[in-house]
Every structure is written in structure tokens, then in C-alpha cells.
């Protein structure tokens, strides 16, 4: 079991995952959760902190506190994405983002799509230094990726358990998807809803998918990418029909992928090199041909002199 939890992975994979996660944190602040800054505009009595917020305890959010968290987290996450000071910056980003999430989720709504991302932020500082493209294998980095994978799968499995616990079989046979389509459905969802009994079948399928998701860990290695691809396709359909993205969860799920093979900076350098090669070849051909011959004025044409 210990060997499975700490299965070594290339350091390049850890570096790529780290960069992706920290860049998403910065994007999350300005794209997905900028509304957190408006939470401080409501009366403080409406702030009902999560259990962890009561145990620590954490202060009631104020405009100054949330503003400091926002700007500090934005700057530190961008710095952490470079891979510098992975422990110092990593722990700082985790602490600030954790508080950002407590503020976000302490007003009556808790999203479960951020569990994997929070675990990744907590685990990455323990992975140590890692450079992009480094093939050296690391057990510490493998542990960070493995616990993130476990959190991703727990998100699915525990979601199914919650459905069964609170809704029972009625969740699968009820009108859950129909209500979601009425509230936020797309044109594609309207077409799907017209097919008799398809939504009921889809609800049973969702339960089965979530309950069976832990099987990804026992699949042969050659089949695992296909399973993860199915996970992504499930979320693609979700976005296309009821516009729920689960973006943080999708980022955490990249912990299953061989990210060390994705090197956009190297690819961009190769493209620039290929673009420059024709120009260099043209210049070489001109040099090989030599300078043009020098010619004098044309001789006069006239009658021959005796």
C-alpha cells in the first residue's frame, strides 16, 4: 500500500502539474470566484462559517481582510507557478486559498468541486523542487499526485453516497435533471429532454458512474487514460447541457495525466525555429550563388571601320 501511495513519477510531471494548479488559482480569483469579494457587502450576521472556520477560529470577513487575501493570493500564486521556493510559496498559497474558500462557502452554499484542488494545494509543497522536462523520478512527487487522485475520486464516490443517503432511489427516478434543465439548460439539453425516459436513464447512469469511479485505480495502466478521458467527457456533456463546469475538479484530475509530455514553451520554440529556417535557407542560397557579375557599358553598334 505504501508503495502504491508513493509510486515514483517524473519530476517534470510534478512541475507541470504545479504550474497548472497555481495558474488556475490566479484565474479562479479573477474569472470563476471574483464574487467572493462581494460577500463582505452583506451583514456580518449572515456569515455562518464552516466547521473548520469555527474551530480555528477565523475572523468575520471584512472588506480589508478579503482585499488583502485577494491581492496577496493573486501575486503569490503567480510566483508559485514558476516553481521557485516551492515549500514557502506553496504553503502560503494553500493557507490563503483555504481562507478564500471558507469565506466563499460560509454563506449557505458549499461546492464540492474544489476538494481535489484543495488537496493538491496542500500536497504540492511536500513534493519539493521539480523542473519542467526532468525525467528523474520522485516518490514525494508521486505521493502528492496520488493523494490528489484519491481526492478526485472521492469527490465522485461521496457525491453518489450523498445522493443515496438523502434522496434514496427517488434521486434516480425523480426529476433532478429535468429541474436542472429548466433552471439552466441549453438548447442541446432541451433536445435531450424531449427523448422519453432518457433523463431517468441518465440519472441511473450518473449514479453508476460515480459509484464505480474508484475502479480507475485497479484498471490496467493501458486502459486508465481511456477511463480518465471518459471522466472528462462526462463533464463536457454536463457543461454542454446544464452549464456546470466543475473547473477546479477538472484541473485536479490532470494529476492522472502524463503532463511531463505537455511542454508548450518547447513547442513554441520549435515553431519559431521552423519558421526561421526558410528565411535562413533563402539567405544561404543567395550567398552560395555569389555576387552578381560586374559588367561595363554595352559596346556601340555601328559600321565596321576599314
The distance from CA 292 to its chain's CA centroid, rounded to whole angstroms, is 59
Residue 138 lies in a domain: yes
Give the torsion through C-alpha atoms of 251, 252, 258, 262, to 10 deg: 30
50: containing domain = 2-262
Residue 47 lies in a domain: yes
| C-beta separation of 133 from 119 below 8 A | no
Residue 110 lies in a domain: yes
Residue pLDDT, tens place only, 227-236: 999 999 999 9
- Other CB atoms within a 10 A radius of the CB of residue 249 amount to 21
Residue 178 lies in a domain: yes
Q: Are strands 9-10 and 137-138 parallel, antiparallel or unpaired?
A: antiparallel
Judged by DSSP in three states, 137 sits in: strand
Residue 60 lies in a domain: yes
Of 131, 127, 112, 120, whose CA–CA distance to 94 is shortest? 120
Residue 288 lies in a domain: no
Work out how many domains the chain is built from and give that number: 1
| C-beta separation of 173 from 203 below 8 A | yes
Model pTM score: 0.85
Residue pLDDT, tens place only, 56-106: 888 888 889 999 999 999 999 999 999 999 999 999 999 999 999 999 998
Residue 189 lies in a domain: yes
Residue 114 lies in a domain: yes
Secondary structure (DSSP) of 211-230: HHGGGGGTS-TTTHHHHHHH
Amino acid at each position: 500500500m505504501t508503495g502504491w501511495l508513493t509510486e515514483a513519477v517524473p519530476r517534470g510531471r510534478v512541475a507541470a502539474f504545479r504550474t497548472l494548479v497555481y495558474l488556475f488559482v490566479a484565474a479562479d480569483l479573477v474569472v470563476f470566484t471574483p464574487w467572493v469579494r462581494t460577500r463582505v457587502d452583506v451583514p456580518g450576521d449572515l456569515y455562518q462559517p464552516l466547521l473548520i472556520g469555527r474551530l480555528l477560529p477565523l475572523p468575520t470577513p471584512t472588506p480589508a481582510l478579503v482585499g488583502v487575501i485577494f491581492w496577496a493570493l493573486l501575486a503569490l500564486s503567480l510566483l508559485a507557478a514558476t516553481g521557485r521556493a516551492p515549500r514557502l510559496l506553496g504553503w502560503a498559497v494553500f493557507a490563503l486559498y483555504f481562507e478564500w474558500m471558507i469565506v466563499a462557502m460560509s454563506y449557505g452554499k458549499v461546492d464540492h468541486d474544489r476538494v481535489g484542488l484543495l488537496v493538491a494545494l496542500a500536497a504540492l509543497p511536500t513534493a519539493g523542487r521539480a523542473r519542467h522536462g526532468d525525467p528523474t523520478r520522485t516518490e514525494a512527487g508521486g505521493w502528492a499526485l496520488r493523494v490528489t487522485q484519491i481526492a478526485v475520486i472521492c469527490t465522485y464516490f461521496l457525491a453518489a453516497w450523498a445522493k443515496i443517503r438523502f434522496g434514496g432511489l427517488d434521486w434516480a427516478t425523480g426529476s433532478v435533471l429535468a429541474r436542472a434543465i429548466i433552471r439552466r439548460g441549453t438548447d442541446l439539453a432541451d433536445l435531450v429532454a424531449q427523448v422519453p425516459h432518457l433523463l431517468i436513464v441518465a440519472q441511473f447512469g450518473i449514479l453508476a458512474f460515480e459509484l464505480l469511479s474508484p475502479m480507475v485505480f485497479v484498471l490496467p495502466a493501458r486502459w486508465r487514460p481511456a477511463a480518465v478521458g471518459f471522466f472528462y467527457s462526462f463533464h463536457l456533456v454536463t457543461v454542454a447541457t446544464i452549464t456546470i463546469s466543475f473547473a477546479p475538479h477538472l484541473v485536479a484530475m490532470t494529476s492522472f495525466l502524463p503532463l511531463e509530455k505537455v511542454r508548450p514553451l518547447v513547442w513554441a520554440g520549435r515553431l519559431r525555429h521552423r519558421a526561421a529556417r526558410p528565411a535562413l535557407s533563402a539567405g544561404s542560397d543567395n550567398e552560395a550563388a555569389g555576387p552578381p557579375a560586374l559588367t561595363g557599358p554595352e559596346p556601340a553598334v555601328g559600321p565596321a571601320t576599314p
